[in-house]
Amino acid sequence: MPRRKLAVRGPVALAAVAAALAVALVPAGARGATARSGSSRTDATVCPTDTWGTSVTNAGHVGWIRSLPASPTGGGLPGPVNAAGVVIFAGDSDLTAFRNAGGGRLWNIHLNPVNGEPASFAGLWASTTAAYTLVKYSVAGKPTERLVELDPNTGKTLWGISLGGYAENVNANGNVYGFAVGGTIVAVDLFTNRVLWRQKFGRPARDGSYNTQLAWAGGYIVAVSGAATPGATTGTAAGFVYTTGKRAWRRTGIPNQPHLAAVSGTVLLSNGYGNSPKSTVFPMTGLAAATGKTLWRVKVKHWVTGVWTSPGVAAFTDSARIYEVDTARGLRWSVSGRPGALAMLHTDLVYVQAAAAGPGRPPVDRVYDRQQKNGALRWTRPGDPAYILAPDGPTLVLVNSSPLSPQPGTSVYAVYRKNGKQLHPAVALPAAVLTPPGVFNSGTYIELNPRECEPGSLATEP
Which tens digit of pLDDT belongs to each residue from 169-180? 888 887 888 999
50 band by pLDDT with thresholds 50, 70 and 90? low
Round to the nearest angstrom and report the end-to-end CA distance of the chain.
44
Check if CATH label 2.40.10.480 holds for domain 1-32+69-163: yes
CA–CA separation, 443 and 462 (whole Å): 13
142 band by pLDDT with thresholds 50, 70 and 90? confident
CA–CA separation, 1 and 392 (whole Å): 30
Question: Is the pLDDT assigned to residue 355 strictly greater than 90?
Answer: no
Q: Which of 370, 354, 401 is nearest to 308 (CA)?
A: 370
Report whether 234 contacts 227 (CB < 8 A): yes
Cis preceding linkage at 69, omega within 30 = no
Please list the residue range(s) of the chain that carry CATH number 2.40.10.480.
1-32+69-163
CA–CA separation, 452 and 454 (whole Å): 7
Q: β-pairing, 266-271 with 294-298?
A: unpaired
Cβ neighbours around 171 below 10 Å, total = 22
Average pLDDT over residues 369-389: 94
Confidence (pTM): 0.83
Which CA distances in Å does 156 have to 7, 105, 300? 10, 15, 48
Model pLDDT for residues 427-439, shown as the tens digit of each residue:
988 888 888 999 9
Q: Which of 178, 252, 266 is nearest to 221 (CA)?
A: 178
DSSP state of 49: S
Q: Which fold has domain 166-303?
A: Methylamine Dehydrogenase; Chain H (2.130.10)
Query: Residue 156 burial (CB < 10 Å; 0-12/13-18/19+)?
Result: buried
Instruction: Give kind and range of the element (H or E) at residue 68.
Output: strand 62-68
- Cross-strand pairs, 316: 307, 323
> Is the model more confident about 26 or about 449?
449
CA–CA separation, 239 and 251 (whole Å): 9
Tell me which amino acid residue 304 is. V
Average pLDDT over residues 97-106: 93
Phi, psi of 15 (to 5 degrees): -65, -35
SS3 325: strand
SS3 21: helix
CA–CA separation, 400 and 388 (whole Å): 9
Question: Is the pLDDT assigned to residue 91 strictly greater than 80?
Answer: yes
Please list the residue range(s) of the chain that carry CATH number 2.130.10.10.
166-303
When mean pLDDT is compared across 180-194, 222-236, 285-299, the lowest value belongs to: 222-236
Q: What is the largest CA-CA distance in the chain?
A: 70
187 band by pLDDT with thresholds 50, 70 and 90? very high
Report the percentage of the chain scoring pLDDT > 70: 82
Report whether 358 contacts 343 (CB < 8 A): no
CA–CA separation, 365 and 425 (whole Å): 19
Question: Is the pLDDT assigned to residue 201 strictly greater than 70?
Answer: yes
Report the percentage of the chain scoring pLDDT > 90: 43
Question: Is the pLDDT assigned to residue 388 strictly greater than 70?
Answer: yes
Average pLDDT over residues 261-286: 82
